[in-house]
Structure 1
Amino acid sequence: MNSNILQDNINQLALLAAVIIVALTVYVAGKYIKQMKTEKSEGVLAEENWDGIGEYKNELPSGWAYTFLGTMIWALWYWTAGYPVNAYSQIGEYNEEVAAHTKQFESKWASADKDTLLAMGEGVFLVQCAPCHGIAGDGMGGKAADLSVWGSAAGVLETIKNGSKGLGYPMGEMPAGLVSGDDAKAIAEYVANGMKGEQPAAFATCAGCHGPDGKGQGGMAPDLTKYGSPAFVADVLERGKKGFIGTMVSFKGRLTPIQEKAVGTYILSLSQGE
């Protein structure tokens, strides 16, 4: 970043405008103060008056007219040839630096091993997630979602019992208690096991939204085949979610893909006791 403010085009424009405004203010104020001392009001009064206060039918002062016209010309130039279309922008420079750093970060950690992802994910989790979900990810007694069961059959059972809302899928929110008992347990085990093995008959209830293969019918509903993987967590992070204590904002653009993978790896480790 440039330390000399005079090398910044925006600062130069601001300083130039400030000088012009001060000069015009001093000139106009001095001119009219002088007139107030030496001249008397004259001319034809308009017919309208307000509580006995009339107004002269004087022509618009040329200085005002030229200033107004100059302001319009300045505005047109400012938004077309000047800033922000054709000039330096501190915000633009910042965004370029962030994009360059993100690209470097993604390249550096593209092949990070699991231990590295766990460490990285824990750091992000403690800053971004723990304030609502708790340091242990247990949701602090029901105040937020219990992440310590995500990726396990217990997590699927919890979703079946309580439903799921706020992810913004076209198929809408999942109501609570669509199945129960042994049927719910069978579905939970099937999904948590990567949807391998014989599909429970009760899964037909889920297939109405998630599709017979559980892949979410092209984005209409969550892809259950991702359950238990960092990609499943990343999908929630990017979509945001309505919870018990408020709305979790989307982290899309706030976290890089590697960071999302790291957070997912760490969260899933909570249910595995790693």
Structure 2
Amino acid sequence: MNWLSDNVNALALLGAAVILILTVGVVGKYFKDIKEGKSEGKLKDENWDGIGEYKNNSPIGWSLAFMGTIIWGFWYWFVGYPLNAYSQIGEYNEEVAAHTARFESKWANPTQEDLMGMGEGVFLVQCSPCHGIDATGIEGKAGDLTKWGHKQGVIDTIKNGSKGLGFPMGEMPGGLVQDDAEIDAVAEYVASGLKGEGKGAEVFATYCASCHGPDGKGMGGMAPDLTQYGTHAFVSEVLKRGKIGGHIGTMPSFKGRLTPVQEKAVGIYILSLGE
């Protein structure tokens, strides 16, 4: 890029040149006046060892340069720079967008093997530092991801609750269902895709439907869609929202940090760990 072709940069150079010329001119004038004994102004009453100070006003050139710099600064930051100028951040964003487009084009139709390999790579870089290489949560310090998407994961959520997903309905408290047989039945019902009838469906209607809806779809985004449980879409939703839990702290949101195919890949890989 020829940065001199940018109007903002060109104007900045012009302003710098004007300030330099004014400074050289003013300094030259004062040196000349000093040499010729033409110092102007009145001395202040105070002096130090016979050395006094003149009550000179600010040089007009410097004053104009100072005011011009302030006006230029406001224009540059609020008008010129945001709209017209080159920036390293803008260039970086363009490069990231171009790379993302190439990446998505390359992996537009990945095989199951491709997704598993990609998911493992993302997991090892982004997830394993907290959840461990085996995804078991480093002895309880973080969530055990081998349970995600499976019956045991539902049981843990019923007993301990779920925090930090940010749904409008609020956080799910633990202990809503106390009876172990009922917990096992409703966990089986949710893990199987909310299919069939029986004790699990009855417990779900009693304790869960008020937030997740009778169909389990989350009442239009008010609560998690339990029909996605056990699918990569379920993992992607958690990745986008983040989560609170574990001694390590809050799991950040990965929204915008992973492409859709990467989210799908890491979801498929994580769900495979508990099989």
Task: Show the counterpart of 1:49.
Answer: none
Per-residue deviation, 1:262: 0.5
Q: Which runs of 5+ in 2 are unaligned?
A: 46-51
Task: Show the counterpart of 1:240.
Answer: 242
Aligned pair partner of 1:155 in 128, 153, 156? 153
Q: Which letter does structure 1 place at the counterpart of 2:124? A: L
Change (3 A) 1:100 1:70: same
Q: Does 1:43 pair with 2:42?
A: yes
Please say if residues 8 and 80 of structure 2, whose CA atoms lie closer than 8 Å, have aligned partners that are also in contact. Answer: no
- C-alpha distance after superposition, 1:173-208 (max 9, x if no partner): 111111130111111101110111115221121112
Change (3 A) 1:36 1:196: farther
Q: How does 1:1-274 map to 2 (within 5 A)?
A: 2=1, 42-43=41-42, 58-79=56-77, 82-180=80-178, 181-198=180-197, 199-203=200-204, 204-244=206-246, 245-272=248-275
The alignment of Structure 1 onto Structure 2 pairs a total of residues equal to: 263
* 1:179 alignment partner, SS class: coil
**CA distance in structure 2 between the aligned counterparts of 1:238 and 1:173, rounded to whole angstroms:** 16
**CA distance in structure 1 between the aligned counterparts of 2:156 and 2:80, rounded to whole angstroms:** 57
Q: Does 22-31 or 83-92 show the bigger shift?
A: 22-31
Change (3 A) 1:142 1:41: farther
Change (3 A) 1:69 1:247: same
**CA distance in structure 1 between the aligned counterparts of 2:131 and 2:23, rounded to whole angstroms:** 57
Q: Does 216-225 or 11-20 show the bigger shift?
A: 11-20
Change (3 A) 1:228 1:13: farther
- C-alpha distance after superposition, 1:127-153 (max 9, x if no partner): 000000000110101111100111110
Name the TM-score, length of structure 2 as normaliser.
0.82
Change (3 A) 1:7 1:63: closer
Per-residue deviation, 1:93: 2.3
Please say if residues 154 and 191 of structure 2, whose CA atoms lie closer than 8 Å, have aligned partners that are also in contact. Answer: yes
Change (3 A) 1:45 1:231: same
**CA distance in structure 2 between the aligned counterparts of 1:170 and 1:196, rounded to whole angstroms:** 26
Q: Which runs of 5+ in 1 are unaligned?
A: 47-53
Name the TM-score, length of structure 1 as normaliser.
0.83
Change (3 A) 1:28 1:60: closer
**CA distance in structure 1 between the aligned counterparts of 2:210 and 2:217, rounded to whole angstroms:** 11
**CA distance in structure 1 between the aligned counterparts of 2:32 and 2:156, rounded to whole angstroms:** 82
Please say if residues 80 and 86 of structure 1, whose CA atoms lie closer than 8 Å, have aligned partners that are also in contact. Answer: no
Please say if residues 10 and 89 of structure 1, whose CA atoms lie closer than 8 Å, have aligned partners that are also in contact. Answer: no
